[in-house]
Amino acid sequence: MPESPATPEHSEVPADATDTPGVPTSEQRVDPEAIEIAREQEHVDKVNVRVEQLLLNADAITREGLARGRSGSFGGLVERDAFVHVASRRKHLLNREHEGLVFGRLDFDNRVVHHVGRIGVLDETYDPLVLDWRAPAAAPFYQATAHDRLGVIRRRVIRCSGPKVISVEDDLLDTEAELDGMNVIGDGALIASLSRARTGQMRDIVATIQKHQDEAIRAPSDGVTLISGGPGTGKTVVALHRAAYLLYRDRRKFETTGVLVVGPSRTFMRYIERVLPSLGEDSAALRSVSELVDGYAASRHDSPEIAAIKGAAKIAPVMGRAARFIPPEAPSEFRLLYRGQLLVASGPQLKGLRRNVLRGNRKYNRSFRAVKDALSDLLYREAGERVQEERNLSEFREELGDREEYNEFLAAWWPMRTPADVLHTLRDKQFLQVCAGGALRREEIALLAEDWAAHDDFSVQDIGLLDEIRDALGEIPPPPPPRDEFDLAQYEELTTAADREYAVAGTRVRPDNYAGYGHVIIDEAQDLSPMQWRMVGRRGRFASWTVVGDVAQSSWGNPAEAHAAMLESMGKGTRREFHLDTNYRSPAEVFRLAADVIRAVVPDADLPDAVRSTGFEPEHVITDELRSATGDAVRRLLDDVEGIVAVIAPAARCDEVADWIAEYDAERVSVVDELSAKGLEYDGVVVLEPDEIAGGNARGTRILYVVLTRATQRLVTIGRTADWLPRDAASGVETPAVPDEDDTGERYAAQPSLWD
Ligand SMILES: Nc1ncnc2c1ncn2[C@@H]1O[C@H](COP(=O)(O)OP(=O)(O)OP(=O)(O)O)[C@@H](O)[C@H]1O
């Protein structure tokens, strides 16, 4: 049963009800918005009371379950686990901080009213007080339009701060409808939400999801769902809401197998990490491409030249061979004095033995037993008839097993190896050349060996290689458990699966390098190299996929090769595509400039429409005095915008720039390099040395395009040159930067001759 029908507004307010909670005061009576806020507050209060009640009920269920467990019977224990599981799950969901648990309301033609929220809440008679936003009944909140109203007259977005309703914004879908006292408030929630200052953390958009976004969010979970669109079209935020939707629609499957969300950088993952919890979901695993291999992390990027070699598919077999070939430091033969006879396993024999053992893609770290047996067989044959008559093979093996030299040789010749151990052997140019087997050019081999020799840490691009090696090595077998590990007598109480699952962070702990994710979401997919696709593919061998990206923003030079690797990783299956074409982030003035920049290298780039205008054109400062110009720009932006400001600079300059702006409020200003800016957004952006970022080539220009589309309000560019600036944009510049007081050689974009 729906909630009670909407009632006429003014006639309902008693003249003397000035201090009754939820009822408008005399002041509010003349302000329709205050009336509506009070009305919604009443409902929100009701929901909060009910949530408290449900929490108490969950405690009671836990107590009941524990009591049944104490009965001592097996059935009692089963019931205990079931009760506690249900109660823990419920409490976990209800206990989350639901800022704005109720955020929407729909008024239908038949005067029925539904409230929509982050989770569903039923009243005592099991009627919905709030519909979960993902429930089919809540779909009209996102799908109703003026053309196809789905019976909706008014859609309302409710904003809360803690338990308090602070504003309402309405869309009137049926302008002809008898409003019957129904007030319509505000200019629309979407624009209000887009104009709000940023905080450095992505917010959910559950209250203002647009129809075309909703279609992508609610698409079926199977196969591959591709979501494309230009900068700021909501691809990331839509992908995250889709994760929440899938977990809701098929919770049993996706909570068990897991949902993996992969993004471009650690900074990006921190930026998006609150969205799913704010939607009541925290079981999804969020990993950047540099954190996909357990035990390794990286933030350093290789130069484009080295990154291109490390990312290309042709390097995969090189890593496989490096994991299998005898490393340079291994002993080359084995000699053992046995009963006065010298037994020798020669270099070629050992090589053959190794090849045999690893045949059929057998994993190196899982083959120790097989190697041990194969070596003892070889030595037994070498020992000849006399020994074979005196000892059978198993006696011979037993004797060898007691010999220190034999065990030492095995430990040196077949040590358990980590991916890092193997990658380090490739610092040896000759060994790398052997492993390359003709797949890499001489210059590429030299570049790689030098690069690995020069660094102790790993680069982001190395992580894909480490995973390839890990796949060839297999995991190192864990040591056998100590005998008394399962001595139940030492535990006072056992925990249930539900306790463990939901007690602390709410996330399920999965084994290292877990490969069975049920759904994998890849954001900024255009940037994945073939080697990164292989790495991601290994984590979702049986998964369905959501792939999100924009080719024009790609920083990977060979999209065709990456595309082939992507298809291979995702396998065959249903494909469905969604295209988003409205830029919700960039002001029109900023996006016009960015669009001109990208058109120069990608003439058919997918360019969305920017829906907002701020009236401020981007400013361009050309000067040799980068430091003072940057300081000036940051100061100005901090005054002009409400939220956060970033200086996006070439990676090599970031430390220096951090010093330049150290005096400003670190909560509001940050420095970020051009690659780490991917996917992020700031109210004010200063782009430092655009020409250096563009590097005069197509790849760099695509990165510059990404950088220019990060601002939600204002953009300033500062550089010693401005070759990057499109001629048309130069003539369109209307707001030159404010000069330094001493005018130290700055020249401004407003002077057209500078762009010739
Ligand atoms: N329906 C919406 N309601 C409110 N805000 C929205 C909506 N759709 C998108 N946004 C906002 O627009 C901004 C851009 O969204 P998002 O980062 O998901 O875009 P994107 O397509 O992934 O961008 P890019 O490819 O440039 O990284 C975010 O601030 C997001 O919250």
- Angle, vertex CA 739, rays to CA 737 and CA 745, nearest 5: 115
Residue 736 inside a domain? The answer is: yes
Residue 437 inside a domain? The answer is: yes
Residue 502 inside a domain? The answer is: no
The CA–CA distances, whole Å, from 172 to 98, 130, 157 equal: 27, 21, 12
Q: Which two tokens stand for residue 188?
A: 């629309």
How far, in Å, is the centroid of ligand 1 from the Cα of 168? Answer: 22
How far, in Å, is the centroid of ligand 1 from the Cα of 492? Answer: 51
Span 611-660, pLDDT tens digits? 889 999 999 999 999 999 999 999 999 999 999 999 999 999 999 999 99
Least confident of 28-37, 335-344, 357-366, 729-738: 729-738
**Could you identify the atom of ligand 1 that is nearest to the CA of residue 678?**
27
Span 240-266, pLDDT tens digits? 999 999 999 998 899 899 999 999 999
Q: Which residues line ligand 1 (CB under 6 A)?
A: 190, 193-194, 203, 205, 208-210, 213, 229, 231-237, 550, 553, 584-585, 679, 681, 709
Span 178-213, pLDDT tens digits? 666 666 776 667 777 787 888 888 988 888 899 999
Residue 672 inside a domain? The answer is: yes
- Which of 158-162, 297-301, 306-310 is most confident? 306-310
The reported pLDDT for the residue numbered 13 is: 34
List CB contacts of 600: < 8 A, sequence separation 6 or more.
701, 726
Confidence of residue 16 (pLDDT cuts 50, 70, 90): very low
The reported pLDDT for the residue numbered 627 is: 96
d(CA 387, CA 446): 50
d(CA 34, CA 30): 8
d(CA 92, CA 79): 20
User: Which CATH number covers residue 276?
Assistant: 3.40.50.300
Contact 700, 669 (CB under 8 A): no
Same domain, 606 and 462: no
Q: Which two tokens stand for residue 395?
A: 């006696």
Residue 501 inside a domain? The answer is: no
**Could you identify the atom of ligand 1 that is nearest to the CA of residue 679?**
27
Tokens 């309301």 appear where? 105
Pick the more confident residue, 81 or 587.
587
Same domain, 38 and 186: yes
Same domain, 594 and 743: yes
How far, in Å, is the centroid of ligand 1 from the Cα of 5? Answer: 35
Mean pLDDT value of segment 374-388: 91
**Could you identify the atom of ligand 1 that is nearest to the CA of residue 239?**
18
**Could you identify the atom of ligand 1 that is nearest to the CA of residue 553?**
25
How far, in Å, is the centroid of ligand 1 from the Cα of 583? Answer: 7
Residue nearest atom 26 in ligand 1 by C-alpha distance: 231
Same domain, 420 and 441: yes
Residue nearest atom 14 in ligand 1 by C-alpha distance: 232
Q: How far apart are the first and last CA of the chain?
A: 69
How far, in Å, is the centroid of ligand 1 from the Cα of 238? Answer: 8
**Could you identify the atom of ligand 1 that is nearest to the CA of residue 203?**
31
d(CA 52, CA 54): 5
Instruction: Tell which residue, 644, 542, 496, has the closest CA to residue 199.
Output: 644
**Could you identify the atom of ligand 1 that is nearest to the CA of residue 523?**
22
Pick the more confident residue, 286 or 191.
286
How far, in Å, is the centroid of ligand 1 from the Cα of 231? Answer: 8
Instruction: Tell which residue, 104, 130, 282, has the closest CA to residue 205.
Output: 104
Residue nearest atom 23 in ligand 1 by C-alpha distance: 232
Q: Pocket of ligand 1, candidates 275, 585, 607, 675: which has the most ligand atoms within 8 Å of its Cβ, to mutate?
A: 585
Span 692-717, pLDDT tens digits? 999 988 889 999 999 999 999 999 99
Span 439-448, pLDDT tens digits? 999 999 999 9
How far, in Å, is the centroid of ligand 1 from the Cα of 182? Answer: 32
How far, in Å, is the centroid of ligand 1 from the Cα of 582? Answer: 9
How far, in Å, is the centroid of ligand 1 from the Cα of 748? Answer: 32
Side chain identity at 232, as an amino acid letter? Answer: G
Same domain, 561 and 603: no
The reported pLDDT for the residue numbered 539 is: 95
pLDDT greater than 90 at residue 235: yes
How far, in Å, is the centroid of ligand 1 from the Cα of 418? Answer: 40
Span 501-544, pLDDT tens digits? 444 444 567 888 999 999 999 999 989 999 999 999 999 988 99
Q: Which two tokens stand for residue 708?
A: 């220019």
d(CA 498, CA 524): 35
The pair phi, psi for residue 659, each rounded to 5°, is -65, -40
Confidence of residue 674 (pLDDT cuts 50, 70, 90): very high
**Could you identify the atom of ligand 1 that is nearest to the CA of residue 550?**
25
What would the 3-class secondary structure string for 689-724 be?
Answer: CHHHHHCCCHHHHHHHHHHHCCEEEEEEEEECCCCC
**Could you identify the atom of ligand 1 that is nearest to the CA of residue 710?**
26
Same domain, 443 and 460: yes
pLDDT greater than 80 at residue 729: no
Contact 686, 634 (CB under 8 A): yes
Least confident of 418-422, 491-495, 715-719: 491-495
* Helix extents (H) in 285-329: 304-311, 316-324
Confidence of residue 495 (pLDDT cuts 50, 70, 90): low
Domain count, the chain: 4
Same domain, 562 and 654: no
User: β-strands 164-172, 113-117: how paired?
Assistant: unpaired
Same domain, 274 and 313: no
How far, in Å, is the centroid of ligand 1 from the Cα of 516? Answer: 30
Residue 358 has a CB neighbour count (10 Å cut-off) of 18
Q: Pocket of ligand 1, candidates 171, 194, 217, 237: which has the most ligand atoms within 8 Å of its Cβ, to mutate?
A: 237
Q: Which two tokens stand for residue 270?
A: 């921190």
Span 547-575, pLDDT tens digits? 999 887 777 777 788 888 888 888 778 89
The reported pLDDT for the residue numbered 87 is: 72
pLDDT greater than 70 at residue 491: no
How far, in Å, is the centroid of ligand 1 from the Cα of 206? Answer: 12
> b/e map of 22-43 (b: 16 or more CB within 10 Å)?
ebbeeebbeebeebbbbbbbeb
The reported pLDDT for the residue numbered 179 is: 63
**Could you identify the atom of ligand 1 that is nearest to the CA of residue 524?**
25
Q: Which residues are annotated as a binding site?
A: 229-236
Confidence of residue 738 (pLDDT cuts 50, 70, 90): very low
The reported pLDDT for the residue numbered 485 is: 53
How far, in Å, is the centroid of ligand 1 from the Cα of 211? Answer: 14
Residue 247 structural domain: 218-293+513-580
- Full DSSP string of 243-255: HHHHHHHTHHHHH
List CB contacts of 512: < 8 A, sequence separation 6 or more.
294, 295, 475
The reported pLDDT for the residue numbered 740 is: 36
The reported pLDDT for the residue numbered 174 is: 80
Q: Where a domain ends, among 580, 595, 630?
A: 580
Residue nearest atom 25 in ligand 1 by C-alpha distance: 231
DSSP letter (8 states) at residue 24:
-
Instruction: Tell which residue, 319, 640, 278, has the closest CA to residue 470.
Output: 319
Same domain, 692 and 625: yes
Give the H or E element holding residue 153.
strand 152-161
The reported pLDDT for the residue numbered 310 is: 97
The CA–CA distances, whole Å, from 649 to 363, 592, 718 equal: 44, 21, 10
Residue nearest atom 13 in ligand 1 by C-alpha distance: 585
pLDDT greater than 70 at residue 2: no
Q: What is the mean pLDDT of the chain?
A: 85
- Full DSSP string of 370-414: HHHHHHHHHHHHHHHHHHHHHS-HHHHHHHHHT-HHHHHHHHHHS
Pick the more confident residue, 580 or 1.
580
Q: Which two tokens stand for residue 409?
A: 């040789």
List CB contacts of 667: < 8 A, sequence separation 6 or more.
none
Residue nearest atom 18 in ligand 1 by C-alpha distance: 234
The reported pLDDT for the residue numbered 97 is: 59
d(CA 634, CA 630): 6
Q: Which two tokens stand for residue 575?
A: 């494909």
Q: Where a domain ends, among 140, 160, 195?
A: 195
Same domain, 313 and 396: yes
Span 116-153, pLDDT tens digits? 998 899 998 989 999 999 999 999 999 988 778 899 99
Mean pLDDT value of segment 471-495: 66
**Could you identify the atom of ligand 1 that is nearest to the CA of residue 549?**
25
Q: Pocket of ligand 1, candidates 274, 584, 591: which has the most ligand atoms within 8 Å of its Cβ, to mutate?
A: 584
Residue 504 inside a domain? The answer is: no
Same domain, 707 and 595: yes
* Helix extents (H) in 96-160: 140-143
Residue 492 inside a domain? The answer is: no
d(CA 206, CA 643): 21
The reported pLDDT for the residue numbered 74 is: 75
**Could you identify the atom of ligand 1 that is nearest to the CA of residue 209?**
1
The reported pLDDT for the residue numbered 504 is: 41
Same domain, 337 and 445: yes
Mean pLDDT value of segment 478-506: 53
How far, in Å, is the centroid of ligand 1 from the Cα of 235? Answer: 6
Q: Which residues are annotated as a binding site for ATP?
A: 229-236
The pair phi, psi for residue 544, each rounded to 5°, is -95, 165
Give the H or E element holding residue 287.
strand 285-288
**Could you identify the atom of ligand 1 that is nearest to the CA of residue 580?**
21
Residue 487 inside a domain? The answer is: no
Give the H or E element holding residue 731.
helix 727-732
Residue 507 has a CB neighbour count (10 Å cut-off) of 14
How far, in Å, is the centroid of ligand 1 from the Cα of 681? Answer: 9
pLDDT greater than 80 at residue 467: yes
Confidence of residue 328 (pLDDT cuts 50, 70, 90): confident
Q: Where a domain ends, among 551, 580, 609?
A: 580
Number of H helices, E strands in the chain: 29, 22
